[in-house]
Structure 1
């Protein structure tokens, strides 16, 4: 993360105008801002750590006016974080280092084929539900395999995430996990981070009475394209949040941008 803190932001031309900045939750080497309906979209390259994002949640007065060396987030970014009454995180390759389904598939002996489908799903070239079904059909994990995987491969949390979530919660900012991954694998992540189970929106693997794989619950909104946007809309409707931020890395995450204050694309 130190390299990113000291790095230079390169402005990228958008469809609207040039946008110059030296801020960002110091996440990034490149960024762009677009107004998509109600939401702002900040595009950024993946950092090694989210430590400086956590640092950006410090009180606004702690920042240095006129600072241009990228060591302190700008007032604009500080205000974005400070105004958020809820933050939603994608899980795979964002909160966690790995893509959960790829790791499970590799554990079950089908890693390469499943990883190829994952790349297509994240890029949005195929409907998410099609990609999810295709990936699971390649290895059909049993309940015993999933439990064995969880025992032997505990979640690898991305650097800085625990501190970031802790600081958000200390400010009474609600935190959610919204994922196309599986609840069985995300529950342990939520436990580590102290996120309530009811704040998880994810898919559910289904098993038979003998633990055999049956499929996934197609009624979960996150099981299909546009599902994360549906989950965000449900959250806003129930909770009445005015300023909701999401951090994610895939096409399904970007779909939420029109329903929230700000979307940070992490990747």
Structure 2
């Protein structure tokens, strides 16, 4: 079979049903595909339908017409090479559930203002570097110790983060955390989750206080894509063997460059730019998209 369509339930209270899988198979058949029997990767959660005869994007579009307004992620892709050898992941609102800079801004009484600018930047409505520098200035004068307090009290991993990194590393993949945020947090997240490397921006600290300056060079969209390209060269792999995922406008170049580029619970601009979207499920969806099964994932779940 040339392609595989994967259905993934997005909510524990809305399990994937056999009827929905049957409807997806019927949609593929109607579109002119030849299908094989459905393969349940995880009962009530994720199911593969291998098929051929039509392109992957045609198959996905056909199924989306049948399964509208349901909390189900629908992804079609070539079957060959679906297991990836490199993971490049965004941090804020992807591997972790929060935006770190917003949580720090709480201590300065600037949460709402920083959150507004962050949202506009992630939507692609503001220049990323200018927006980062503007927000960093609002943190000036805060104690460095507040970064640790934010990490310990305000930051949580996105469900499935440990499993995504753990399963891929156990199967030989290299994992990288690349962020437009600050390296204090990428270092902490990489250590906790088990990423092989991390990359982010340097927030200047002097005499135990945040100065409000971001040191050059600023790591934004270009730096993320360059990191993916560099890692592919170092690992001697093709872009098609890489998985990249993120939610913000500064993730678009790396998402579009990777073989499996995923917009994860993303802003509209990002979702529209990505070939693959996860709108409902947690990060384990990125494992099901690679054909991993429940028994592969279960030992790594939180």
Please, what TM-score do these two structures have when normalized by structure 2?
A: 0.61
The question of whether the paired residues in 1 share the 8 Å contact of 2:92 and 2:100 is answered with yes
Tell me the alpha carbon deviations over residues 39-94 of structure 1, each in whole angstroms, 9 at most, x when there is no partner. Answer: xxxxxxxxxxxx97xx87xxxxx95767x999998884765541x11011111111
Residues 223-242 of structure 1: pairs in structure 2 closer than 5 A: 224-242=220-238
Q: Which residue of 2 aligns with 1:248?
A: 246
**Alignment of structure 1 residues 4-43 onto 2, 5 Å:** 6=16
Contact kept, 8 Å, 1:63 with 1:73, in 2: the verdict is no
Matching residue within 5, 9, 12 for 1:2: 12
Q: Distance in 1 between matches of 2:72 and 2:150?
A: 40
Structure (1 or 2) with the larger CA radius of gyration: 2
- Relative to structure 1, is the Cα distance of residues 76 and 151 closer, same or farther in structure 2, using a 3 angstrom cutoff? closer
Once superposed, what is the RMSD of the aligned Cα atoms? Answer: 3.5
Q: Secondary structure at the match of 1:139?
A: coil
Q: Counterparts of 1:1-267 in structure 2 under 5 Å?
A: 1-2=11-12, 6=16, 76=77, 79=80, 81-82=82-83, 84-140=84-140, 141-153=142-154, 155-196=155-196, 199-220=197-218, 222=219, 224-242=220-238, 243-267=241-265
Contact 2:183–2:200 under 8 Å retained in 1 = yes
How far residue 146 of structure 1 moved from its aligned partner, in angstroms, is 1.8
Unaligned runs of 5+ residues in structure 1 are 12-17, 21-50, 57-61
Deviation at 1:145, TM superposition (A): 2.3
Q: Distance in 2 between matches of 1:88 and 1:151?
A: 24
Distance 1:65 1:144, change over 3 A: closer
Separation in structure 2 between the aligned mates of residue 137 and residue 253 of structure 1, nearest angstrom: 23
Distance in 2 between residues matched to 1:110 and 1:124, nearest whole Å: 21
Per mean C-alpha deviation after superposition, the further-off stretch among 139-148 and 251-260 is 139-148
How far apart are the structure 1 equivalents of 2:257 and 2:49?
32
Higher mean Cα deviation, 185-194 or 206-215? Answer: 206-215
Per-residue deviation, 1:206 = 1.2
Paired residues in the alignment total 216
Aligned position for 1:30:
none
Q: Which gives a bigger RCO, structure 1 or 2 (Cα 8 Å, sep 6+)?
A: 1
Tell me how far apart the structure 1 counterparts of residues 233 and 82 of structure 2 sit (CA, whole Å). 21
Counterpart CA distance in 1 for 2:101 and 2:230 is 25
Could you tell me which runs of 5 or more consecutive residues in structure 2 were left unpaired when the two chains were aligned.
Answer: 1-10, 25-30, 34-40, 52-62, 266-302
- The CA distance in 2 between the partners of 1:127 and 1:133, in whole Å, is 10
Question: Is the contact made by 2:143 and 2:208 (CA closer than 8 Å) also made in structure 1?
Answer: no
